[in-house]
Structure 1
């Protein structure tokens, strides 16, 4: 089970690097949210869009989020849902 931030980042980068060439060719400057346990990923024009898609599939998961082709800043984001008891975490680069 992947719980800590550094492990999520490491696994997220491993998955992203495998997808990087295809994602940058088709989705440059969009966002990808990666569910690090399964490797499944979700694309969006915004971080919120990518996270919303990811949370629909994995409501309680932790995600690695990156802007495709732009690895400049780090952000830790914890999202709370007001309509349910689910929470999810995103670590964004």
Structure 2
């Protein structure tokens, strides 16, 4: 006697519908992201020459609205410290070195 197995339909693709952004929305998002980066970079450029002497290759999280920044050896820890003081704020994390980035592509 053979048992018959039910045919199952395999679902392909995403469970959630994809977000469809217009080109204008994409451009606006990119411009906002770039403006936020520039605001953070100003603060980083101001403190980086002094911090590079004592905290080379550490991480710095910048909150641009207040001008506050936080430093730590670990990028996850520095983000947690910053979010404790500013729980709903957007932050940007730089690495304290010559370029401000933590890796290469």
Q: Which has the larger radius of gyration?
A: 2
Q: Secondary structure at the match of 2:78?
A: helix
Structure with higher strand content: 1
Where does residue 100 of structure 2 map in the other structure? Answer: 71
TM-score by length of structure 2 reads 0.63
Q: Which has the higher contact order (CA 8 A, sep 6+)?
A: 1
Q: CA deviation at 1:73?
A: 5.8
The answer to whether the Cα contact below 8 Å between 2:70 and 2:78 also exists between their aligned partners in 1 is yes
Where does residue 21 of structure 1 map in the other structure? Answer: 49
How much is the aligned-residue C-alpha RMSD, in angstroms? 1.6
Where does residue 91 of structure 1 map in the other structure? Answer: none
Q: For each residue in 1:6-37, what CA deviation from the matched residue of structure 2 results, as whole angstroms up to 9, or x when unmatched? A: 11100111011100111101111000000011
Where does residue 78 of structure 2 map in the other structure? Answer: 50
Where does residue 77 of structure 1 map in the other structure? Answer: none
Q: How many residues align?
A: 71
Structure with higher helix content: 2
TM-score by length of structure 1 reads 0.70
Q: Which runs of 5+ in 2 are unaligned?
A: 1-31
